[in-house]
C-alpha cells in the first residue's frame, strides 16, 4: 500500500474523513502523540488498527470524540465525577474510563465492558472527528512496543506501506500520551500519568484520588492489572535503556567510566559538556514539560544514531515528571542503576 503523507489542508481533511468513513485507518496528530484512527463503530476498521500496529487484541483502544453528545453515545452511564473531569479538562489530554455502550464495537474495547474516552484539543484531530461524524478509536501510531510518535516522520517510519494516509500536523505539544483515569469505582484511580496530574484532578474533584501501583512498579499479577496496557513491553527503542538514579556527579563518574562502543548518556540541558561518551539532552532538569515533550523523539533519535545502550538521568518523579518516569521505566524494562545507594 502506498502511504500518503499530507499537510492538513481542507482537501486533505476531507480525504481523511472519507477514508475513515470507508473503514480505513488514518494517522492523525493530537496534542499528546500521533494516533492511528479508525471508525470505532466498525469492527473491520478496528481490526486494521490492531494489524498495522501488531497490537495484542486484548489491549483496548481509546475513543476520541469532538462533542459531549458523542460522550453520551459511547458511555452507558456517566458519573458526576466523570462529568466534572470532562468539563474541567476537555478538550485536552485526559482519558476518562466509563462503562461502555453498545454504540462502539466490542473489538475497540477489547471486549471489556468499559471504554476510555477523550476529546483531544488538537484542532486537526477535532476537525477530522467532526467530518467523519463518528467517534474515532485511536491508539498511539507506533508499532506496538516502540516509543510513541510525536511527529509525522516518526509515524511514517513505523507505518509506511501499512496505512493509506498520514496527516502531518507538526510536532505534538505534550509529547507523552494522555492521563488515563478510571471513574468506574467510588474512588477515581489514575491508570497512566500524563500532563494532567493527580494534583490537577484532585483540585477539580476535591476527593481522594488513587494511583495504580503499576505506574511505578512492574506488574506482578498479569491477570489482575487494571489496564491491559500495563502488561506489555512499551516505549522501547532498539537500544537497551537503563535509568540512573543519583546525583549529577555520580552520573558523570559512572558514564565517564564506560569503555564500550555505542553507549549514550541521556542527560539534561547543559550537562553535555562534561560527558565523554555519546550524549544527548532530553530537556531542562527543572522543566518536566520539556522532558515530556522531547522524551520519545530523543529515544527514536538514539536508534538512528545506532545506540546500543542508553543511560538516562532519572527525572524528578513529581508532577509531569511522574509521566516521564513512568514511560522511561517501561522503555528500560524497569532496569534502574541506583548510584545514590553508593558511598
User: Where along the sequence are the contacts to ligand TXA (CB under 6 A)?
Assistant: 30, 32-33, 35, 59-62, 93, 95, 97, 109, 112, 114-116, 138-140, 177-178, 180, 191, 227-229
291 binding partner (options Mg ion, ligand TXA, none; Cβ < 5 to 8 Å by kind): none
Q: Does position 179 bind Mg ion by CB under 5 A? A: no
Least spacing, CB of residue 340 vs ligand TXA, in Å: 30
27 binding partner (options Mg ion, ligand TXA, none; Cβ < 5 to 8 Å by kind): none
**Size of the chain in residues:** 343
Query: Between 139 and 147, whose beta carbon lies closer to ligand TXA?
Result: 139
59 binding partner (options ligand TXA, Mg ion, none; Cβ < 5 to 8 Å by kind): ligand TXA
- Which candidate, 191, 180, 183, places its Cα nearest to that of 213? 191
* φ, ψ of residue 127 in degrees (nearest 5): -65, -40
Q: Does position 140 bind Mg ion by CB under 5 A? A: yes
Q: Could you tell me where the beta strands, DSSP code E, fall in 124-262?
A: 136-137, 165-167, 179-182, 189-192, 210-211, 240-245
Q: Does position 183 bind Mg ion by CB under 5 A? A: no
Interface segment toward Mg ion; rule CB under 5 A; list 99-107, 132-140, 293-301, 320-328: 132-140
Least spacing, CB of residue 148 vs Mg ion, in Å: 5
End-to-end CA distance of the chain: 57
138 binding partner (options Mg ion, ligand TXA, none; Cβ < 5 to 8 Å by kind): ligand TXA
- Transcribe 9-73 into DSSP letters: -HHHHHHHHHHHHTT--EEE--SSS-EEEEETT-HHHHHHHHHHHT--TTSPPEEE-SSHHHHHH
151 binding partner (options ligand TXA, Mg ion, none; Cβ < 5 to 8 Å by kind): none
Least spacing, CB of residue 308 vs ligand TXA, in Å: 27
Neighbours of 189 (CB within 10 A): 18
Least spacing, CB of residue 36 vs ligand TXA, in Å: 8
Contact criterion met (CB below 8 Å) for 38 and 128: no
Amino acid at each position: 500500500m502506498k502511504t500518503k503523507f499530507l499537510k492538513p489542508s481542507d482537501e486533505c481533511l476531507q480525504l481523511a474523513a472519507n477514508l475513515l468513513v470507508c473503514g480505513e485507518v488514518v494517522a492523525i496528530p493530537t496534542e499528546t502523540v500521533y494516533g492511528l484512527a479508525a471508525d470505532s463503530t466498525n469492527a473491520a476498521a478496528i481490526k486494521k488498527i490492531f494489524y498495522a500496529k501488531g497490537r495484542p487484541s486484548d489491549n483496548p483502544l481509546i475513543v476520541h470524540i469532538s462533542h459531549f453528545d458523542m460522550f453520551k453515545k459511547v458511555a452507558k452511564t456517566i458519573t458526576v465525577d466523570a462529568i466534572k473531569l470532562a468539563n474541567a479538562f476537555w478538550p485536552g489530554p485526559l482519558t476518562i474510563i466509563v462503562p461502555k455502550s453498545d454504540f462502539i464495537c466490542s473489538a475497540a474495547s477489547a471486549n471489556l465492558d468499559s471504554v476510555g474516552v477523550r476529546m483531544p484539543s488538537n484542532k486537526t484531530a477535532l476537525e477530522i472527528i467532526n467530518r467523519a461524524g463518528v467517534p474515532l478509536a485511536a491508539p498511539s501510531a507506533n508499532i506496538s512496543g516502540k516509543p510513541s510518535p510525536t511527529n509525522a516522520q516518526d509515524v511514517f517510519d513505523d507505518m509506511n506501506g501499512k496505512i493509506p494516509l498520514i496527516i502531518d500536523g507538526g510536532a505534538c505539544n505534550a509529547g507523552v500520551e494522555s492521563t488515563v483515569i478510571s471513574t468506574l469505582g467510588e474512588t477515581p484511580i489514575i491508570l497512566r500519568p500524563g500532563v494532567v496530574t493527580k494534583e490537577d484532578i484532585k483540585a477539580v474533584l476535591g476527593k481522594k484520588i488513587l494511583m495504580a501501583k503499576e505506574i511505578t512498579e512492574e506488574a506482578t499479577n498479569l491477570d489482575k492489572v487494571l489496564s491491559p496496557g500495563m502488561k506489555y513491553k512499551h516505549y522501547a527503542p532498539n537500544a537497551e535503556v537503563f535509568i540512573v538514579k543519583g546525583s549529577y556527579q555520580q552520573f558523570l563518574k559512572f558514564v565517564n567510566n564506560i569503555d564500550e562502543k555505542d553507549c549514550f548518556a541521556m542527560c539534561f540541558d547543559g550537562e553535555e559538556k562534561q560527558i565523554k561518551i555519546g550524549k544527548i539532552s532530553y530537556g531542562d532538569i527543572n522543566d518536566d514539560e520539556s522532558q515530556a515533550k522531547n522524551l520519545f523523539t530523543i529515544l527514536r533519535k538514539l536508534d538512528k544514531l545506532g545506540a546500543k545502550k542508553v543511560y538516562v538521568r532519572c527525572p524528578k518523579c513529581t508532577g509531569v515528571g511522574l509521566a516521564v518516569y513512568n514511560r522511561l521505566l517501561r522503555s528500560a524494562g524497569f532496569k534502574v542503576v541506583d548510584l545514590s545507594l553508593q558511598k
